[in-house]
Each structure stands twice: as C-alpha cells, then as structure tokens.
C-alpha cells in the first residue's frame, strides 16, 4: 500500500470507475486541473474512448495492466452498480477505493465494506466528497480552490459544509494538511474515528477540525475514545443539525435523529466533556483553532 500524507499524496495514481458519465467526466477534468494523476478510467463497453486525454477501459484489470501503479480508485458509477464496481476494484487489490456515489443501498455498503476489510483495503464513502491534500492531490469532488496547503486536518460527514469551513479557514490564513470527507451514510468505510486516527498519526497535521452532524453516535464514540488519550493534537468541532426535528432524514441517509438518539445536543455535550470545543457558528472555527494551542499537547 502506498498511503502516505494521509490517504492521498503526489504518488496517488487514480483510476476513475464510471469515467464516461457526466459526473465522472466533469470531475476527471477537475481533478486533472488540480494536478491529480488520473491515469485511467473504466466504463464497460467504452474501451478505447478518452476522457480529457485519459484512456478508458472495459475492466479494472485492463486499466491495471495499462498502469500497474494505480493505487486508488474513485467511483462515480450509478448507485445500483456500486457493489459490483467495488468488488471489481477490490479483486484487483486497489488499496484505496473512494465511493462518491450517493443513494447506495445500505446492505450493499455493508457487504462491500466487509469484503474490502477482509482484503485489507480501505473504502472511503459512499456518499462522500472524497479526500484532498491541498497542493498534492485531490481524489473526489471538492472545489480545490477553496482549500490551501497547511497544517490543519479535517474530517467531515458533510461535503459542502466542509468546503464552507475550509474556505473560511483559507480566508483566515489557516491552511489544511488533508481534508477527508467520510460521507453522510449510516454505514461508511473509513469511520470518523479511523479518519481522526490517520490525522493524529500524520506528521503534516498539527490540529484537527471535525465536522459532525445529527444521526448515529460516531461523534460520541470519538469523544469517548479521545477523552482517554494522553497526547493528542488540538481538536475543534462543529455539529450540524441542532435545529433538525427528530425522525426526519435531513438529506443524508445518516442524518436522522431516531429513537431519541443522535441529537446535536448529545454530540455537543459529549465533545465538550472530552475537552473538544464545539463551534456555535462555522465561522468560529478559525478562532477556536487559534486558541486551541494551550489546551492540548
């Protein structure tokens, strides 16, 4: 596996599954413009085509035969093809598989996440914006110009909210090491806790911003695990959905307060009790980051 600088770096060589679709093609262009090495694409039946100069193949194996150094696949295939596309990428042992597609059936996600885990491969997503290491590589759909190179790592369940916060950090002169969009589904490959651990272990990251939202208890579990840590990087957080009513899905499949749990209040409380400041407004994050130095290591 070739994952340094947290998931993606300038050795990242990308395969785009579903490259000939509208989203696949658009984001291939955008990734290339950012400097990301998109080296091949796959759309069954479209072998021989080129998208932005990137050769298209019928199968993952053909793409790997073309460029054996492919180490990441990013998926734009329709939701009902995601399960099979992940199996295909996993059977070619691609170590990092980023699923951008939304509306993937949760039972499909459960199966592919399990399958990848037993092969030692990492899935990010589904329903996520991908991963960006500003200046190095962008694997996904983030608008690169809102990000800037720096020392703050980000983990987020939300796409546009990540862009919002990253752009406010950028305006405040605070650059980012890596921003990881883990996705808004109830079951995802790389978890909140796993993603934070990658940033903790990353020498390029000095502080961490986490962006949570209602639904599930990933934030609470993260808070509980960090409360025990002796040495930890300064962390600040934001939790979306304080005004959301219970029992209604707020856009993301995972953003739902159900059976009375998963509220923003609980998450905020758990994070604060673990010593992690929670911003009331997105714009407060840069201030909280600046003042976070002293509280942690």
Partner 1 sequence: MKIHEHTAKDLFEAEGIAVPKRYVANTTSEAEEAALKIAGAVVVKAQILVAGRGKAGAILKANGKEETSKAARQLLGAIFRGATVSSVLVEEQLSISKEFYLGFAIERASKKAIMIASEEGGVDLEETARSRPTAILRILLDPLLGLRTYQARLAGKALNIPTPALASFIGICQRMYKIFVENDCELLESNPLALTKSSQLVALDARMVIDDNASYKHPEHGEGTEELTPRESSAKQMGLSFVELDGDVGIIGNGAGLVMATLDLVAHHGAKAANFLDVGGGAQAEQVKAAVQLIVKLPNVKVILLNIMGGITRCDEVAMGVVQAFTETGSKLPIVSRLVGTREEEGQRILSEAGIEMTKSMELAAKKAVSLLK
Which of the residues are catalytic?
252
How far apart (Å, rounded) are the C-alpha atoms in residues 197 and 235?
A: 12
Nearer to partner 1, 54 or 141 (CB): 141
Q: How far is the CB of 34 from partner 1 (least distance, A)?
A: 12
Structure token pair of residue 185: 């589904």
Radius of gyration of the chain (CA): 19
Nearer to partner 1, 55 or 78 (CB): 78
Put the strands of the sheet holding 149-156 in their side by side order: 137-140, 130-133, 176-181, 149-156, 207-213, 235-240
Q: How far is the CB of 287 from partner 1 (least distance, A)?
A: 13
How far apart (Å, rounded) are the C-alpha atoms in residues 196 and 50?
A: 37
How far apart (Å, rounded) are the C-alpha atoms in residues 222 and 273?
A: 12
The SS3 assignment for 204 reads: coil
According to DSSP, residue 243 is labeled: T
Structure token pair of residue 162: 């990540």
Q: How far is the CB of 4 from partner 1 (least distance, A)?
A: 26
Nearer to partner 1, 54 or 161 (CB): 161
Q: How far is the CB of 37 from partner 1 (least distance, A)?
A: 21
Nearer to partner 1, 44 or 55 (CB): 44
């Amino acid at each position: 596996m070739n994952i340094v600088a947290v998931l993606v770096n300038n050795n990242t060589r990308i395969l785009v599954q579903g490259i000939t679709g509208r989203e696949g093609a658009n984001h291939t262009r955008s990734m290339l413009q950012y400097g990301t090495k998109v080296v091949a694409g796959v759309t069954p039946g479209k072998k021989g085509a080129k998208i932005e100069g990137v050769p298209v193949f019928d199968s993952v194996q053909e793409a790997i035969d073309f460029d054996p150094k492919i180490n990441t696949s990013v998926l734009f295939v329709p939701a009902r093809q995601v399960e099979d596309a992940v199996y295909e990428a996993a059977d070619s042992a691609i170590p990092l598989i980023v699923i951008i597609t939304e509306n993937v059936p949760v039972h499909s996600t459960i199966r592919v996440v399990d399958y990848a885990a037993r092969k030692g491969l990492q899935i990010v997503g589904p329903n996520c914006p991908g991963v960006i290491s500003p200046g190095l590589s962008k694997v996904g759909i983030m608008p690169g110009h809102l990000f800037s190179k720096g020392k703050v790592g980000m983990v987020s369940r939300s796409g546009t909210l990540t862009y919002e916060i990253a752009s406010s950090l950028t305006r405040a002169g605070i650059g980012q090491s890596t921003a990881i969009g883990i996705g808004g589904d109830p079951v995802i490959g790389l978890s909140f806790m796993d993603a934070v651990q990658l940033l903790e272990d990353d020498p390029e990251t000095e502080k961490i911003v986490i962006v949570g939202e209602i639904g599930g208890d990933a934030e609470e579990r993260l808070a509980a695990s960090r409360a025990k840590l002796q040495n930890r990087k300064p962390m600040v957080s934001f939790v979306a959905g304080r005004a959301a009513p219970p029992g209604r899905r707020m856009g993301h499949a995972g953003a739902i307060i159900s059976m009375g749990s998963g509220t923003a209040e609980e998450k905020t409380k758990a994070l604060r009790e673990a010593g992690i400041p929670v911003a009331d407004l997105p714009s407060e994050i840069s201030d909280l980051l600046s003042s976070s130095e002293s509280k942690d290591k």
